[in-house]
Structure 1
Amino acid sequence: MSDLGRPTWSQAEQRAAQGDAAYMRELGEQLADRHAEAVRQVQECERQLAHVVRVLALTPSRDSLGHLLQLLDEKRPSTGHRPLLPLVASLLAEHHQVTDLAASVFDRRGLDHLDELYVCLFHELVLRGVETDTFPALRSSPRVRPPWHPLSWLPAHRRDVESGADFPSRSINGSFYGVPSQLPVEGRVDPPTPRTSERSALRDRATTDVQESIVAAVKAGEWGDHGAWVFMLDEAIAPERVPALLPTLPMPCVDGLAPTDRFEIAVRPLDEIWRLLFATASMGGMFDSGVHGAYGRLWAWRSIAGLSGAPAGASAEEVEHRARQSTWFHFEADTDWFHGDIDSDYGIAALSPDRRRIAVLAATDTD
């Protein structure tokens, strides 16, 4: 039992054959203890490594950038269940001058393992309003928009609907952020109460692919629960009829809603809906840091595509065109599905341009 550094299969089988079950149990206990200690040490090393990377990323100087890039390229560290490079890209975009990033990151040669950093950093800068065309290294480098990368689907320039994107405020010792999910006062179109108790005969027609598209932003942010539904109408309806129709639809998020229970709804512009979805994905839920700006941008547009009914394979420009022609709603309800916590529940509904399709996303960050 003294040499647990190299226990062998043959040792274990021999002692088992001799009927020494006590030895086997003790061996297992000691190995379990060693494994637990090794896991603890790995986790502690990951925390310390993550802090060192964070300090380097948040120190605004070309010298820090150079050493950070060397560390990332040579050691390719991993610090948790989320990929590290999208986070680093977000931190760099928040705390460094674009001129330094262009010179030290995009113009730097010999970094063979940082393609993900280049791509994510490019989109982080786009979202922050950087005119990338003014920097040759960002404009011409094939590394920032390789055709094989999923982020290459995104526009190379910030769209007007993206100009209100929310970003976390981060320092070496902490972060501050929040998802703007509260229902606004402006644009309210609450249906009068008591509402009808009659349920709609419409049925959910969402395919698996469409559902996955609609909930893309919420899944990326790892919120507590979510649902997606699509209803095809027999005839076109005016947007004014949607607030009364939504509480009657066969959706778990409004199950049990009585005629006088709270159901509040507002018409929202596309940019506010995009902003909400972007924050959901990029900053994540209560116990998660999200996928950060670059991928948050992608998953927000993916959800917009599903909600607006854009065809599979549509370009970003086609998705935006269809989304601008849709009518968007933001709602809340007092049901068991929604928990009513601030910044933790919301519903989105989209009426298609032909007014014969209603798509709904419901999200809650409480289990």
Structure 2
Amino acid sequence: MSSEQPLLVVLGATGNQGGSVLSYFLSLSPSPYALRGVTRNLSSPKSTALAARGVEMTLGNFDDPSSLDTAFKGASIIFSVTDFWPAFFDPAQRQEAAASGQSIGAFCRELELQQSRNIINAAAKVTTLKHFIFSSIPNSQKISNGKYEHVYHFEGKGLAQEYGQSAHPKLWEKTTVFYAGLYLENWLSGAGVLLQPKLNKDTDTLVFSLGETLGTASFPIYSSVDDTGALVHSLLRTAPGKKVIGVNEWLSFRDVATLLAQVLGKSIEFVNEDPSFDMGDPDLEKENAEMMGFCVEFGYDGGKVDKSIVQPADLGVPLQLQSVKEWCAKQDWESILQVV
């Protein structure tokens, strides 16, 4: 690590967003920043691969504030991201949630909120810090006046923003809130039956079951793996103090399905029925159903109410992202398509 370069510290270094930030700056020659990745496991394959590429990898546990103090030492820039979902699917955490009398969603909201507080508190102590980028999502419960009260993976991040702004106003003057858009990777994982493309082999037709309202609502679509790094670079070339939505293109689910059908050279059929949220887990089904309801009514980023959110194209700096159609063309759909 060069002492002459400003230090960019990236949390979630081996995950989608953090990994994208590091990969992007590693691809620049030379990188404008010295790079430090923060991880719980220095011996993981992703961590060792990043170290081999020149990233200074360091231990950091979001539940251990002292480890964050060490990880943030000397940072000029910190990219912060937390993940609600590992605890949600962890049997041990589910057992602890049940013992506490909480739903797993509410339990994980509090876990993630405390992790964010720890990160924010540690960042506020860094005297060298110039820019703090806080990856987040809006507080769906607050924006909807309590109508959508079970979208815990939105609410916890939104509460963390409010904490940072009230507890550390000086830090928040240096902060850009990055609202990560809807991941294109969700179409690969089948993150629910809702997005998973199905193939009718008899007619060679892609079949999507999308209700009219949800199918035509507009979402900020982007690739967390491919696009986060470039978006963060654009944020670092502008002054902090904004809320910026991470988006490649604003598209409906029908739009994405149509682009995929064009890429695969197949006809397409939309079954206009209420989308299924049957995921074998009542808590997950409620979480996702209310999330989609919130997105349709208030916008994924709450933008139908919060008019302060900035689009990447309005930052005034060069930014080139692949199109959604280009992203679709790069994926191995034959191994993903569900045959019906």
Interval containing the TM-score (normalised by the shorter chain): 0.3 to 0.5
- Structure (1/2) with the larger strand percentage: 2
Q: Which has the larger radius of gyration?
A: 1
Taking structure 1 as the reference length, the TM-score comes to: 0.32
Taking structure 2 as the reference length, the TM-score comes to: 0.33
